[in-house]
Amino acid sequence: MERNQLRRQVALTRQSLFDQGFLDDQFIQLEDLQDDANPNFVEEVVTLYYRDSARLINNIEKALSVYNFLSFPSLLDFLVQQHFYIGAKKVKAECTLFREYCRAGNGEGCTRTFQQIKKEYATLKGKLEAYFQVLFHLMLPLSSLISQ
């Protein structure tokens, strides 16, 4: 019973992530890749994503602080890529917007959008962490339960 509740919770959390536009179907692709050989695949990928994108965001922030817009395009590309991989929809949208502002040379727009990126990123991170937590709890019991 508890497990059922847990499962439901997991499903709901997961669904809300999609409904609220935090994730898109790329995330589903990731989930599809998960299998017995890599049971924690999604989480592993998301962890990598956190690490890399955090670094990128830092770099962008530094660049922004010195108004080094030149380096943005490439940094942004990387950042956008990251979000693509895991389907971080909102963050991706903000990044795209940010890139446009950069291209247009709109400093203020860049700064503003960047703040948005950070905000969305943090939000998503929190949500994903919560999701994995629940998932983890669900996985705790015998795996046979999961396969049911």
Partner 1 sequence: MMENGFSSPRNDSFPAGLRVLVVDDDPTWLKILEKMLKKCSYEVTTCGLARDALNLLRERKGGYDIVISDVYMPDMDGFKLLEHVGLEMDLPVIMMSVDGETSRVMKGVQHGACDYLLKPIRMKELRNIWQHVFRKKIHEVRDIEILEGIENYQMTTNGSDQYEGGHFVCGEDLTLIKKRKDTESQHDEKDIGDNTSTKKARVVWSVELHQKFVKAVNQIGFDKVGPKKILDLMNVPRLTRENVASHLQKYRLYLSRLQKENDFNNPAGMIKQSDSPLSDSTGNFGSQNSINLQPTDASNGCYGFSGSSLVAHIVDPRIQDGDRKRLVTTPVAEPKRGFTVDAPNPSKPRISQMEFGHPLAPPQSEVNFAKFDFSFRTKYPWCGIPQTQLKQEHNPIHLNDGFSRLPVPKQLSRADYPQPAPAISSAPSLTGRETGCPVKIKPSHNDYSSNANHASSTESAVESCLLQTKTNMTDHQALVPMSSTSSMENQGLNMNCLTDLESSRKNINLGTLPFATLDEDLQVCFVTGDYYMNLGLQNIEVQEYFDPSLLTDVPTHLDDGLRFDYEIYDPTEYSLIDQSLFIG
Interface positions with partner 1 (CB under 8 A): 26, 29-30, 32-33, 37-38, 41, 44-45, 48-49, 52, 70-71, 73-74, 77-78, 80-82, 84-86
Cα(5)–Cα(80) distance, integer angstroms? 36
For 23, the 3-state DSSP assignment is strand
Cα(134)–Cα(10) distance, integer angstroms? 6
Compare residues 9 and 96 and give the one whose CB is closer to partner 1: 96
Contact 63, 72 (CB under 8 A): yes
Compare residues 80 and 110 and give the one whose CB is closer to partner 1: 80
Compare residues 37 and 142 and give the one whose CB is closer to partner 1: 37
Min. distance of Cβ 52 from partner 1 in angstroms?
6
